[in-house]
Amino acid sequence: MAAQALQQPARIKRVPPLALKLASLFSPILRELKEMAYQYEQAYGFNSQKIEKALGLQPTPYQEGLLAALRADYPEGFASH
């Protein structure tokens, strides 16, 4: 979806677990990525019923959130990137 919104070809690359482990020794951001890697290894879902009921919140659809993030990163417009 992001590649389509940016009118770019989708480029997906996999970082081998050992490379991530070694790089995380030197980078706090990669250390966090290593910690959260399970999210990319298998599908999982969230149940937001409790917070929806307690606070009246509604989940933001994925595409809507992605477009909002792109607009924030590219305030001049992202169609040309």
**Three-class secondary structure of residue 65 per DSSP:** helix
| Cβ atoms 2, 63 nearer than 8 A | no
Q: Domain residues for 61? A: 2-73
Q: Is residue 66 part of a domain?
A: yes
Q: Is residue 9 part of a domain?
A: yes
User: How many domains, the chain?
Assistant: 1
Q: Is residue 43 part of a domain?
A: yes
pLDDT for the residue 15: 83
pLDDT for the residue 79: 60
Model confidence pLDDT, tens digit, residues 5-20 = 888 898 888 888 898 8
pLDDT for the residue 4: 85
Which residue did the predictor score with more confidence, 65 or 44?
65
Return mean pLDDT, the chain.
85
Q: Is residue 78 part of a domain?
A: no
Model confidence pLDDT, tens digit, residues 18-44 = 988 899 899 998 888 878 878 878 887
* Terminal-to-terminal C-alpha distance of the chain: 14
- Structure token pair of residue 14: 């996999």
Task: State the burial class of residue 48 (Cβ atoms within 10 Å of its Cβ: 0-12, 13-18, 19+).
Answer: exposed
**Three-class secondary structure of residue 80 per DSSP:** coil
